[in-house]
Structure 1
Amino acid sequence: MRLWGRRRQVVGIAAMCALSFLTTGCFDRMELEQQAFVVALGVDKAPGNMVDCSFLISLPVNPNGGGGGDAGNQPTASKGPITFRAHSITEAMQLANSSVERTLTLSHLSLILFSSSMAKHGLDPEIRPLVRYREFRRTTFVAVSEGNARDILAANAPVLEKSTSRWADDIADVGRRSNLIPVTQLHDFLRRLEDAHEDPIVPLCAINQTAASSSGSSLPSGGLSYTAGSISRAGGNPVEWSGAAVFRKDKQVDELNGRQVMDLRMLQGRLSRAKYTFPDPYNKNETVGLTIRRERAPEVNVQLTRPMQISVVIPLEGDLISTQVTTNYDLPAARTKLQRTVDQALSKELSTLVTHLSHDDGVDVVPISRYVRGRFATYSAFAQYPWEQQLSSANINVQVQLQVRRFGIQSKPVQST
């Protein structure tokens, strides 16, 4: 018995020694001081079926190293984007280490910016590596730039934010509040590509050349614009975000301005709060301003006839926030006229937008197809249904039902004495 117990001890010790060689070690560890954190990636089309990849690298700051205030302790940007030409994004990352003294890592990547020329050519060849390479998180924001993406990253000069690692998150947060741009993550883009009869949209940015060249002392000549790169302003960040790029699967086919994106979010039932301006019903030369938000989800009715009939009813509620006339909209008759005027204007505006996207672009970015998906017994039957062909000739009617709830702090107009 003693001999058997001793043998068991020897076998146990030998097994432990053997297993110790199978345990993982830290031979491949990567210290913070050995990594270059890419916070934004710009992708432009290059000759010879190649791409120009621009990396914006964050420079971490030691929180114990001083710097005067919280702003001094935030990660700052490198001197500018670093661009490499390669066959793919992953190959460009490999080439980047020929001049960057630290290993590039995408663990803090927050924005992938594609140029409009590449988006119009098709993003499928570039999206596929992003799905396979584990460093690309699906929560990364995706956007399209007018012109080269490298120029956007080089010209970007945030007004308030000093941390490049937070810049894209701040833009997305503002987009959710203002509704001027859609907030699209890589996961959202991929899901729209894979689902039948759905098409993606991504935010659009551009350089405002007038704002970039002006000193901020005077505004340029021109009217109101919600289009990125053409907004009438002076000073500030040359890069502005407004509108969206519309895709038919992986190819960009159209653009929306900021006002149209607000309309689209209203159709999707995702309008949290947006400020609209309309002609005053009592004086067409003046305007009224309202804050509009969703009251209930839109009611969508689709009849699969030939041609297809689509009717959308959108219940909204709003607050009167500005008026240039002395009309007392607190009175029932004036309020009713205001609601009727806004209903007609928005109904026409939304019907025009959906008809243009469906008939001219052949896309469904709402998407309306979700409302008929449950009528098919299987997903295969739904995917084989000629939805786009039917949608291109559909009769579409959008009806807005607005209820003005409040009139600001002062409900009645100012009375001069």
Structure 2
Amino acid sequence: MRVFMGMVWILIPLMLISGCGQKEELERQAFVVALGLDKGEKDHMIEVTFQIANPQVNTSQLAEAQNEPPSDIVTVTAPDILSAKELVHTSHSRRVRFSHLKTIIIGEELARSEVFSNIIESAIVDPEVRRESMMIVSKEKASEFIHKNKPIMETRPHKYYEFMQKIWKQTGLVPPSNLNTLFQRIQGELFLVIYATAEREEVGEHQNEDTYLAGQVPQKAGDPVQMIGSAVLRNRKMIGTLTGEETRIAMLLREEPVFDAIITSFPDPVKEGSRISVRLIETSPTRVKVDTKQEPAKVNVQVPVVLQIHSNPANVSYTTNQHNQNLLKKSIKKRLEERSARLVEKMQNEFKGEAFVWYVPARKQFWTVKQYEDYNWEKKFQQADVDINYEVKIENFGEQIKPPSNKD
């Protein structure tokens, strides 16, 4: 018994220290907060940009690092991401880690190429790469986007993307996109990725607040980066773009709510040339019914939305005038249904697929996976008969009991 207890006392310390073989001091590690991917000059080569956080910025050691940049940006050329990660160590003194990586930026040229699918698939081989990492497609090269993105309000780059991700859920101007969702789209379903740029593009006369693409928003001064709209991917290859308005509608047509409420505007049906700002709320999930027994397939979509009137610049009497209230309700309902029908038609004719995740209710119509695959939902959707109905309810018309009269 004494021999046994002696062995136990010897083994316990060994068990406690056995897990320290891979121990590495924190100060010897470098954490990548944003990763940029671009097409290389040679075939099957990519340019990988690492934005590595400076751990001393915004810490107790700020006085020592006040003249240092918030991050170190390094670009190397390699056949894949893991090879590039090793090449970085030829110039970087610390061990590069992906454990804090939450943002992956893909240059549009690479996103439209055939090699992108293989490149992004090989990335998840590294166990440090998180499946929930946010994906962004930049109009210019990803390396240029990262270098130009210097937000004044956020010195730490990872905080900028983290805060932007929270804001997007309130605006609905960009889709939620991450690696995990990308790998779920395997049967030709379309996948929407955040679209961004640090370049400006003149679009002539100003449009509505959500009908822009990244770079088109009329903005003076501030951070040059704009993120609005979507890059459309099919089979992990970019095939087109959607504006902010089209992205919002695509999110509304999904069964699972993506945002709680958004601020948008609609034409005033009484005062031509004026617009009314509203808060649009999804109070309950969108209802989608797919009938695959009919030819062509029948899709019925019911979208319940609640509106709160926020501004009425034309001072039209909506609060006390029932007739005007009915006009406003019908006008908003008609516009939402027309824009939704236009987007569905664009998906059917231009993109040859759907980004509304309607394949989920369609798949439920079949007993086996093979039956669903033989049905070929992607092709059937292109000829499908789609009926979209918005159930519009106006909850209030603002805080004024009676708006002031317009004496024009």
Q: TM-score, normalised by structure 1?
A: 0.87
- The equivalent of 2:286 in structure 1 is 298
CA deviation string 1:162-187 (max 9, x = no partner): 22121211111111111111121211
- The equivalent of 1:217 in structure 2 is none
Alignment CA distance shift 1:359-1:66 (3 Å): closer
| TM-aligned CA deviation for residue 23 of structure 1 | 6.1
Runs of 4+ in structure 1 off by over 4 angstroms are 10-23
Alignment CA distance shift 1:184-1:210 (3 Å): closer
- The equivalent of 2:142 in structure 1 is 149
How far, CA to CA, are the matches of 1:352 and 1:210 in structure 2?
25
The one-letter code sitting in structure 2 at the alignment partner of 1:144 is: V
Alignment CA distance shift 1:259-1:14 (3 Å): closer
- The equivalent of 2:242 in structure 1 is 256
How far, CA to CA, are the matches of 1:167 and 1:150 in structure 2?
17
Q: Secondary structure at the match of 2:91?
A: coil
The answer to whether the 8 Å contact 1:295/1:317 transfers is yes
Q: Secondary structure at the match of 1:229?
A: coil
- The equivalent of 1:133 in structure 2 is 126
Q: Secondary structure at the match of 1:370?
A: helix
| Number of equivalent positions | 396
| TM-aligned CA deviation for residue 17 of structure 1 | 7.0
How far, CA to CA, are the matches of 1:221 and 1:394 in structure 2?
36
Superposed CA RMSD: 2.7
- The equivalent of 2:344 in structure 1 is 354
The answer to whether the 8 Å contact 1:61/1:76 transfers is no
Q: What are structure 2's unaligned runs of at least 5 residues? A: none
Alignment CA distance shift 1:183-1:12 (3 Å): same
How far, CA to CA, are the matches of 2:349 and 2:148 in structure 1?
37
| TM-aligned CA deviation for residue 19 of structure 1 | 9.8
The one-letter code sitting in structure 2 at the alignment partner of 1:147 is: E
How far, CA to CA, are the matches of 1:197 and 1:149 in structure 2?
26
The counterpart of 1:369, out of the listed 347, 353, 359, is 359
Percent of residue pairs identical: 23
| TM-aligned CA deviation for residue 14 of structure 1 | 10
How far, CA to CA, are the matches of 1:21 and 1:160 in structure 2?
48
How far, CA to CA, are the matches of 2:9 and 2:279 in structure 1?
72
The answer to whether the 8 Å contact 1:203/1:243 transfers is yes
Q: Secondary structure at the match of 1:351?
A: helix
The answer to whether the 8 Å contact 2:190/2:233 transfers is yes
How far, CA to CA, are the matches of 2:264 and 2:12 in structure 1?
72
Alignment CA distance shift 1:241-1:324 (3 Å): same
How far, CA to CA, are the matches of 2:157 and 2:96 in structure 1?
16
- The equivalent of 1:190 in structure 2 is 183
Moved more, 345-354 or 160-169: 160-169
Alignment CA distance shift 1:366-1:221 (3 Å): closer
CA deviation string 1:23-59 (max 9, x = no partner): 6253432112111111000000012210000011100
Q: Secondary structure at the match of 1:190?
A: helix
How far, CA to CA, are the matches of 1:275 and 1:48 in structure 2?
45
| TM-aligned CA deviation for residue 15 of structure 1 | 11
The counterpart of 1:103, out of the listed 95, 100, 112, is 95
How far, CA to CA, are the matches of 1:30 and 1:98 in structure 2?
19
- The equivalent of 1:209 in structure 2 is 200
| TM-aligned CA deviation for residue 416 of structure 1 | 6.9
The one-letter code sitting in structure 2 at the alignment partner of 1:198 is: E
The answer to whether the 8 Å contact 1:343/1:402 transfers is yes
The one-letter code sitting in structure 2 at the alignment partner of 1:281 is: P
CA deviation string 1:325-368 (max 9, x = no partner): 23211222111110001111110001110221133211221111
| TM-aligned CA deviation for residue 299 of structure 1 | 2.4
- The equivalent of 1:318 in structure 2 is 307
Alignment CA distance shift 1:253-1:407 (3 Å): same
Q: TM-score, normalised by structure 2?
A: 0.89
The counterpart of 2:386, out of the listed 378, 391, 396, is 396
How far, CA to CA, are the matches of 1:19 and 1:403 in structure 2?
68
Alignment CA distance shift 1:30-1:337 (3 Å): same
How far, CA to CA, are the matches of 2:301 and 2:12 in structure 1?
70
How far, CA to CA, are the matches of 2:9 and 2:161 in structure 1?
52
